Amino acid sequence: MKILLCPLSDGGYLYPAIAAGRELRRRGHHVSVLARSSAAPVVAEAGLPCAAAEDFGGRRAFSATWWGKTGAAQYRAILRAARAAQADLLVTSVLCNGALLAAEVLDVPVVVVGLSVHLWDYRSGGNGEPHLGRTRESRTRDSRALHAATREEVGLAGRASRWEDDPLLGDALLLRGDPALEHPGAELPERVRYVGPLPWEPAPGQGELDAVGDHLERKGTGKPVVYVHLGRFFGGRTLWPRLNEAFTGGPFQAVVEQGRSTDPAPAPEADILLVRKPWMGPLVDAADLVLANGTSAPVLSALLRGRPLALSPNGSEQPLLTGACVRAGVAVRDPKTPSVDLSALLESVSRDAGLRTRARALGDRLAAVDGAARAADLIERVAVASATPKENHEYAISRPR
């Protein structure tokens, strides 16, 4: 089977797709990747062939920053690349409306690699779920409206979708979390399945690790490390003033991954090492706890290593995942009020034995899942179901006709 991976090229979306793709290649399938040219070295390290999205007219179309504005360009780039690769199946990520529409036109199945929690409406249940940010209903409504607008922009308006019941899920949507992160009593849509974290990231060079270790030993005076991973602020307040205050003369030192945040501003006197790395595992290993905005990649990396979390959410899925982690007892939410001292909050997280125990237990559960194998199984089943007349197969995931 020829499989084209076409997720967003940002690490939090690309790396899980690569994990599944590597397992599919091990099983004998031909797997290639469509990604921004800047991601080509990472894809090459994973041992997969990479086609540059720019060569197919997809500049910016695979960037999480531009995802809502480039669906049509993404559609056209995937259409061209999939035809060139003679793809039998697409693997994409959430937010990729272009991939869903290209799969319809090509009449091939498409599997969506999701986040650690389900973003949209449950099939049933979930009543009384508190909302730190937007409701599921508003997120689902707006996501479907954007999908419909993209259909119209690429000339597919009026054409029946294969997935009239829910066009955002593709033939299957793979969640990377655990049932404990969904609201109690909630039932996921039929085509949504848990596969576990799908952990993969490029390996750091030894020189990079040594440089980080030397800095922490030289500048941190033995202070425990907080790994800080900054996501997009979505117009919210930057954490930098509070980070500088918390890590100047306080009990911790910090390694801060700039991530997709802009305008980093570490104070010269603060115990802060600012980095921009395509990997985070070794930095989490060196940390006592993790402070993040609440995106899937740092949350899953922390849990897999048994690290408790302090989460300071802004927009997108950040409030939803933060609420899920607080409900599961593995994180504390930063209320972001002037009366709450960030350094004191981090100390309380570090000293909370129950929080750490629950983080380890959930992390052990996540680590016990062979996510790549489970994802590959589901992708293969989708492919078989697509090729088999509906009345003749008994697969749990069937492709709607």
Confidence bin at 133 (pLDDT 50/70/90):
confident
User: For the whole model, what pTM was predicted?
Assistant: 0.93
314: left (phi over 0), alpha (psi -120 to 50) or beta: alpha
Confidence bin at 392 (pLDDT 50/70/90):
very low
Note the pLDDT of residue 236. 64
Q: Percent of the chain at pLDDT above 70?
A: 95
Per-chain mean pLDDT for the chain: 92
Q: Average the pLDDT over 208-212 and give the result.
A: 94
Q: Average the pLDDT over 326-348 and give the result.
A: 92
- Which of these ranges, 51-65, 89-103, 126-140, 189-203, has the smallest mean pLDDT? 126-140
Confidence bin at 52 (pLDDT 50/70/90):
very high
Note the pLDDT of residue 399. 38
Is residue 136 within 8 A of residue 120, CB to CB? The reply is yes
Note the pLDDT of residue 401. 31
Q: How many CB atoms lie within 10 A of CB 148?
A: 15
- Which of these ranges, 92-96, 245-249, 397-401, has the smallest mean pLDDT? 397-401
Q: Average the pLDDT over 306-326 and give the result.
A: 93
Is residue 101 within 8 A of residue 85, CB to CB? The reply is no
Output the CA torsion sign for 197, 202, 203, 205. negative
From residue 116, how far is each of 5, 92, 189, 202 by CA, in Å? Answer: 19, 15, 15, 20
With 90 as the cut, is the pLDDT of residue 376 above it? Answer: yes
Q: Average the pLDDT over 18-41 and give the result.
A: 98
Confidence bin at 338 (pLDDT 50/70/90):
confident
Bridge partner residues of 273 (DSSP): 255
Note the pLDDT of residue 400. 34
With 80 as the cut, is the pLDDT of residue 219 above it? Answer: no
Q: Average the pLDDT over 31-54 and give the result.
A: 98
Note the pLDDT of residue 235. 61
Q: Over the range 364-389, which residues count as b (16 or more CB within 10 Å of their CB) and which as e?
A: eebbebebbebbbebbbbbbebbeee
Q: Average the pLDDT over 50-74 and give the result.
A: 94
Note the pLDDT of residue 256. 96
Q: Which two tokens stand for residue 247?
A: 């890590």
Nearest 10 degrees: Cα torsion 303, 364, 283, 258 = -30
Note the pLDDT of residue 162. 82
Q: Average the pLDDT over 129-136 and give the result.
A: 83
